[in-house]
Amino acid sequence: MPDTTGSLTPARLSALERWGLRIFSDSEPAHASDLPSAIAQMRAVERIAILRAVVAGMASGLATAVAALLADSLLGEGEVVVLTADKLKYWAIVVGTTAVASAVEIAFLYWDGLRAARRIHALAQGLCSSTHDDEMHDAWKISLVRAALEIPNPRDPVFGIDPMRGASKPRLLIAAFVYKLKVGITSFLVKLVVKRLGGRIVARGWLEFFAIPVLGAWNGLVCSWYMREARMRALGPVYAKDFISFVSGAPAGGTPALDQTVGTLMARAIALTIVANRGVHTNLLLCLEQVRSWHDLQSVPDLDDEARFLTDLTKAWPDHQSVALTTLAVAAALDGQVSRAERRLIYAAQDACGVPRSLANVSAWEERLRAGLPSSCGALKATSTS
């Protein structure tokens, strides 16, 4: 019998996560008259956080640029590659200043991101504070902390689902390494272009100043990503259960009239979306919890087995196939973005059902969620089978 037990909260938390939770510890529900009002306030929090991130990046770049300008006389006119005592002093000053400025910048971004996420959580908590138990609320807070700190979703198996099933570890490491290089490479290219175009018009000591807007822009872009993710996770409890209830045809606060076969298809669709993302997104866990509350999944083997899911789809009734495909679309939208692996899974499921390949349904759910619009289920009823 498969292990379908699990906890909504990780067994172990990192030091950063524990620090983040301490910041969240005094969070109280904020007043929001309705969902549109709460979303408008969340967006205001996001905009201010992005602005502060831009300023922090530019300040960090400015510190490095000023240090490089003041120490420029130590380099002289010779080739930089020829090391001398003065050039070693130059690099010690520049690298030391950069290290300190970067450390202060990162610490500020983490602290400020957590404050913004706490505010977003408080606004969402005011909408649904009475609808979830303590364990689910803890998982909700931890997911927001992870978003603010840019920590990947947990990869430990849960409910018998292994998010890392079939994953290539070397490929994951390469992807992480490339991500870390982006900012440095962009700054280097900007300085290289300025040097080539400006020649001796731009003094060597001033080149570092051209990296300042690049650092600010990268900070703003990355902050917009994790603030949007924080909003998605904050709205997860508001949306996830309603969406899954809508897909299944469940009456308000009731249980849908679906048999075990359809419940298993829905659970497999959510489980395979978790595997496709190589991490357990809290919104997907909330969806799975909803399906588990309706159907006994203890005896269902290998929820994360894609081959079995596709085989079951080919044998399912058209109405059941429609429910499974819409569940895939909802799950893909609820984790904030549709990855290449999710697209491949959706296309494989559509092929198994004998319907044309299309992401129109996925895009409709995704855009509605990203926009943070209310009444999503009713507005999307007409598109749920496209």
Task: Look at the alpha carbons of 314, 348, 273, 364 in this order and tell me if their dihedral is positive or negative.
Answer: negative
- Residue 158's SS3 state is strand
Q: Residue 70 has what pLDDT?
A: 83
The token duo for 198 is 């400006």
Tokens 């917009």 belong to 224
Q: Residue 49 has what pLDDT?
A: 95
Q: What is the largest CA-CA distance in the chain?
A: 81
The DSSP call for residue 381 is G
pLDDT digits (tens), the chain, 386 positions: 344 445 555 557 778 788 888 887 766 667 766 777 888 889 999 999 999 999 999 999 899 888 888 887 666 554 444 556 777 887 788 888 888 998 899 889 989 999 999 998 888 877 765 445 566 667 778 888 888 887 777 766 666 666 655 555 555 455 555 545 555 565 555 555 544 444 444 455 566 777 788 888 888 988 998 898 888 888 887 777 677 777 777 665 666 667 788 888 999 999 999 888 888 888 888 888 878 877 777 777 788 889 999 999 999 999 899 999 999 988 888 876 788 889 999 999 999 999 999 988 888 877 777 665 543 444 343 333 44
| CATH code for the domain defined by 235-383 | 1.10.3680
Task: Look at the alpha carbons of 315, 319, 325, 328 in this order and tell me if their dihedral is positive or negative.
Answer: negative
Q: Residue 254 has what pLDDT?
A: 62
Rounded-to-10 torsion of CA 58, 219, 91, 208: -50
How many angstroms separate the CA atoms of 137 and 127, rounded?
A: 13
Tokens 């822009």 belong to 217
Q: Which residues contact 44 (CB under 8 A, 6 or more apart)?
A: none
Q: Residue 9 has what pLDDT?
A: 59
CA proximity to 146, closest of 21, 48, 53, 27: 21
Burial of 148 (0-12, 13-18, 19+ CB in 10 A): buried
How many angstroms separate the CA atoms of 337 and 357, rounded?
A: 18
Domain spans of the chain, in order of start: 30-232, 235-383
